[in-house]
Chain A
Amino acid sequence: MSTDSNDSTAIDTHSRGPLLLLLGSGVLWLVVSGVLALITSIQLHTPTFFADCAWLTFGRAQALRETAFVYGWLANAGLALGLWIAVRLGGEAMRAGNWVVVGAVFWNLGVSLSLVGIAAGDAAGHPFFQIPSYAQPLLLVAYGAIAVAGVLAWAGRRHETGFASQWYVFAALFLFPWLFSVAQVTLVWLPVRGVLQAIVAGWFAQGIYSLWLAPLALACAYYLLPKISGRVLPAYSFAVFGFWTLIVMGCWTGGRHLIGGPVPAWIASVAIAACSLMVFHYLVVFLNFRSAIGAKSSALYFTSFGLLAYLLSGLVEAVISLRGVALHAQFTFVEQAVQQLSLYGAVSMVFFGALYFAVPRLVGKNWASSSLVGGHASLVTVGVVLLVVALTAAGVAQSHMMFGATQPAKFAEVASATRPWLLVATAAQVALLLGNLMLLVNFAQTVAALVPFRAAANSVSRPALKSVLS
Chain B
Amino acid sequence: MKNGPLFFLGLFASLTFSFAGVVLFSNYQLGGLTPYYDDSEGKSFPERLPGVAARGQMVYRDLGCVACHTQQVRRPSFGNDQAQGWGERQSVARDYIHQSYPQLGAARIGQDLTNLAGRKPSALDAEDLMKLLYLGQGAMPAYTFLFQDVKVSGQVPKTALKLTGKSAPLPGHAVVPTERAQVLVAYLLSLNTAYDYPESRPVVKTAAKAEGAHK
Chain A positions within 8 Å of B, measured between CB atoms, are 43-44, 47-48, 51-54, 57-60, 62-63, 121-123, 125, 127, 154, 160-162, 167, 170-171, 174-175, 178-179, 182, 186, 191-200, 202-203, 207, 211, 240, 244, 247-248, 250-252, 254-255, 257-258, 260-264, 267, 270, 323, 327, 330-333, 335-336, 402-412, 414-415
Residues of A within 8 A of B84 (CB): 402, 405, 407-409
In the bound complex, do residue A260 and residue B74 qualify as a contact, i.e. CB atoms below 8 Å apart?
yes
Whether B108 sits at the interface, judged by CB under 8 Å, is yes
Which of the 9-residue segments B28-36, B151-159, B161-169, B207-215 touches chain A? Answer: B28-36
Residues of A within 8 A of B204 (CB): none
**Contact partner of A162 among B1, B19, B27, CB < 8 A?**
B1
**Contact partner of A63 among B29, B64, B106, CB < 8 A?**
B64
Residues of B within 8 A of A179 (CB): 15
**Contact partner of A197 among B22, B65, B85, B102, CB < 8 A?**
B102
In the bound complex, do residue B22 and residue A251 qualify as a contact, i.e. CB atoms below 8 Å apart?
yes
Size of B's binding interface in residues, CB under 8 A: 71
Residues of B within 8 A of A154 (CB): 4
In the bound complex, do residue A251 and residue B72 qualify as a contact, i.e. CB atoms below 8 Å apart?
no
Q: Give B94 Cβ to nearest chain A Cβ, in Å.
A: 8
Residues of B within 8 A of A331 (CB): 70, 105-108
Q: Give A251 Cβ to nearest chain B Cβ, in Å.
A: 4
In the bound complex, do residue A194 and residue B93 qualify as a contact, i.e. CB atoms below 8 Å apart?
yes
In the bound complex, do residue B80 and residue A411 qualify as a contact, i.e. CB atoms below 8 Å apart?
no
Known: A52-B142, A257-B106, A406-B83. A193 touches B33 (CB 8 A): yes
Q: Give B114 Cβ to nearest chain A Cβ, in Å.
A: 10
Residues of A within 8 A of B70 (CB): 331
Q: Give B70 Cβ to nearest chain A Cβ, in Å.
A: 6
Bound Cα distance from A260 to B80, whole angstroms: 12
**Contact partner of A247 among B11, B65, B99, CB < 8 A?**
B11
Bound Cα distance from A113 to B211, whole angstroms: 65
12 CB < 8 A contacts A-B: A125-B66, A194-B96, A194-B99, A195-B93, A197-B102, A198-B104, A262-B92, A331-B108, A403-B80, A405-B84, A409-B111, A415-B139
Known: A51-B136, A331-B108. A162 touches B18 (CB 8 A): no
**Contact partner of A267 among B26, B100, B139, CB < 8 A?**
B26
Q: Would you give the 0/1 interface string for B89-117, flagging 1 where the beta carbon is closer than 8 Å to chain A?
A: 01111011111111111111111000000
In the bound complex, do residue A267 and residue B22 qualify as a contact, i.e. CB atoms below 8 Å apart?
yes
Question: A-B pairs with CB below 8 Å: how many?
Answer: 216
Bound Cα distance from A352 to B10, whole angstroms: 30
In the bound complex, do residue A335 and residue B106 qualify as a contact, i.e. CB atoms below 8 Å apart?
yes
Residues of A within 8 A of B1 (CB): 162, 167, 240
In the bound complex, do residue A196 and residue B30 qualify as a contact, i.e. CB atoms below 8 Å apart?
yes
Residues of A within 8 A of B205 (CB): none
Residues of B within 8 A of A211 (CB): 15
A44, A171, A194, A199, most chain B CB atoms within 10 A: A194
Q: Give B138 Cβ to nearest chain A Cβ, in Å.
A: 3
Residues of A within 8 A of B79 (CB): 260, 327, 330, 403
Whether B14 sits at the interface, judged by CB under 8 Å, is yes
Residues of A within 8 A of B105 (CB): 331
